[in-house]
Structure 1
Amino acid sequence: MTASPELGTPQLASPDLLRSVFRQHAAGVAVITAQGERPVGFTATSLTSVAAEPPLISFGVGTSSSSWPVIARADHIGVHVLGEHQQELAATFARSGADRFAPPTDWRTGPEGVPLLDGVLAWLVCRVVARVPAADHRLVIAEAVVGDPAGAGRPLVYHQGRFNGLRD
């Protein structure tokens, strides 16, 4: 088999290649939260629907993340789908060392004690069913327990290293 010219020049797999390829992949933006001694959370673009029956989701989290020790022990987590009006919230939860739950972040304690962010497009509280090792990350699989899909607005997406809204 020969490479066609429109496919470009293949490169050997590397971390830089993976990052370059995934900059081309537009992904929805979510914030994952959990309650420990204090609430924790982080911005995730790895959120995936796994199965409808039972209703399972997954996301990846780095084991060096400040949220990982709480996520590693949490029975329940919150999943928040962000709207395009929440770019600053996404940046806050992505920023290392930020006090993510301080004002202006609006949140409340939800079912199972999970921190729930206000003003999101949709949210779920999920029961963690597995944490699968994947290099320096863990793939967390969780079953949806309760949620609300009724937020208003359009989704926030991550593309080319930036948070963006959808274009018409």
Structure 2
Amino acid sequence: MTATPGLGAPRLATPDLLRSTFRRHAAGVAVITAHGDRGPVGFTATSLTSVSAEPPLISFGIGTGASSWPAIADTDHIGVHILGEHQGELAATFARSGADRFGAPTAWRTGPHGVPVLDDVLAWLVCRIVGRVPAGDHRIVLAEVVLGDLSGSGRPLLYHQGRFNRLRD
């Protein structure tokens, strides 16, 4: 490989190259929840994507080694929560391995289809899982939106350069 004038030298694909590249990609922050055999589970996701308007479909990625994966693999319905800029600590809690994600101070309730619904988010959806597509050490989960609530207010929380951030004016 040769360097292109004005650009750095290209690097061969590695997990580190992928991680480093996507640290530069600002993404919205969501928390995905489900009810598992041992109670509620959830994780922070920056891979949430709108897939289709008709029918209304979303997708997200989850590692098969993640503690939430067994519940996501077995459940029919999940909750999708769009976090506001005031919820950096909540995002960090759901991203931290071994954390008591549903203990205090997390405020939540059991919602439709038994899905854990987080309080004070910008918006939440309950979705029915319609597919789990193998993708390396992850699964891409496709889910159809069943219902939702977008009555929250505020600005979104973003993830960039390995940190939770706010929009700047």
User: C-alpha deviations, 1:71-130, integer Å up to 9, x for none?
Assistant: 001100000000010000000000000110001000001111100000000100000000
Match of residue 151 from structure 2 = 150
The answer as to 2:106 corresponding to 1:79 is: no
Q: SS of the residue aligned with 1:108?
A: strand
Q: How many residues end up aligned between the 2 structures?
A: 167
Give the residue type in structure 2 aligned to 1:23. R
Partner of 1:25: 25
Q: TM-score, normalised by structure 1?
A: 0.97
Q: Which residue of 2 aligns with 1:11?
A: 11
Q: Secondary structure at the match of 2:132?
A: strand
Share of identical aligned residues, percent?
A: 78
The question of 1:42 aligning with 2:43 is answered yes
In 1, distance between residues paired with 2:48 and 2:129? 14
What's the secondary structure of 1:89's corresponding residue?
helix
- SS of the aligned residue for 1:142 comes to strand
- Matched residue SS, 2:87: helix
2:101 aligned with 1:97: no
After superposition, residues 45-84 of structure 1 pair within 5 angstroms as 45-84=46-85
Secondary structure of the corresponding residue to residue 62 of structure 2: strand
Per the TM alignment, residue 149 of structure 1 is displaced from its structure 2 partner at its CA by 1.5
- Rounded to whole Å, the distance in 2 between the matches of 1:51 and 1:66 is 28
Cα offset, 1:3, TM superposition: 5.8
- State how far apart, in whole Å, the 1-side matches of 2:44 and 2:17 are: 22
Shift of 1:8: 2.2
**Deviation (angstroms), 1:6:** 2.7
Aligned partner of residue 17 in structure 1, secondary structure: helix
Deviation at 1:136, TM superposition (A): 1.0
TM-score norm. by structure 2 comes to 0.96
Give the root-mean-square deviation of aligned CA atoms. 1.0
One-letter amino acid of the counterpart of residue 31, structure 2: V
Letter in 1 for 2:27: A
Query: 1:148: Cα distance to partner?
Result: 1.0
Paired residue for 1:127?
A: 128
Tell me how far apart the structure 2 counterparts of residues 7 and 138 of structure 1 sit (CA, whole Å): 34
Structure-1 separation of matches of 2:139 and 2:59? 10
* 1: CA distance, partners of 2:65 / 2:4: 41
Q: Partner of 1:115 in structure 2?
A: 116
User: What stretches of structure 1 of length at least 5 have no aligned partner?
Assistant: none
